[in-house]
Amino acid sequence: MKPFKLQIAAPDGLRYDGDACQLSVRGIDGELAVLAGHVPFVTAVRDCECRVYTTEDGKDIRRAHTTGGMLLVSKECVRLLSSDFTWLDE
């Protein structure tokens, strides 16, 4: 999997700003995964577990909980704007 630029922000600040190979969240129409080269779009995100795959082999996964927000996918960057975002490993 090819990496892409990912930013995750919550009202209290930036929670992630770096490369990712996949982002998995639950959108309004169900579970979705964003990979490099994904078509640009915007969707609401539901309360869910968020998974950020940081390595190409998919073995390094950071898990978090988001209480919803917006997901914006563009050619330059993927942005998850969350109303509340908590890393599960912290």
Tens digit of each residue's pLDDT (9 = 90 or more) over 14-50: 999 999 999 999 999 999 999 999 999 999 999 999 9
Integer Cα distance of 48 and 36 in angstroms: 22
Structural domain boundaries in the chain: 4-87
Residue 89: predicted pLDDT? 86
The CATH homologous superfamily for domain 4-87 is: F0F1 ATP synthase delta/epsilon subunit, N-terminal (2.60.15.10)
pTM for the model: 0.92
Distance from C-alpha of 75 to C-alpha of 48, rounded to nearest angstrom: 25
Whole-number Å distance between alpha carbons of 68 and 6 = 17
- Chain-centroid distance of CA 41 in Å reads 13
Beta-bridge mates of residue 90: none
Q: Which residue from 15, 6, 5 is spatially nearest to 85, judged by alpha carbons?
A: 15
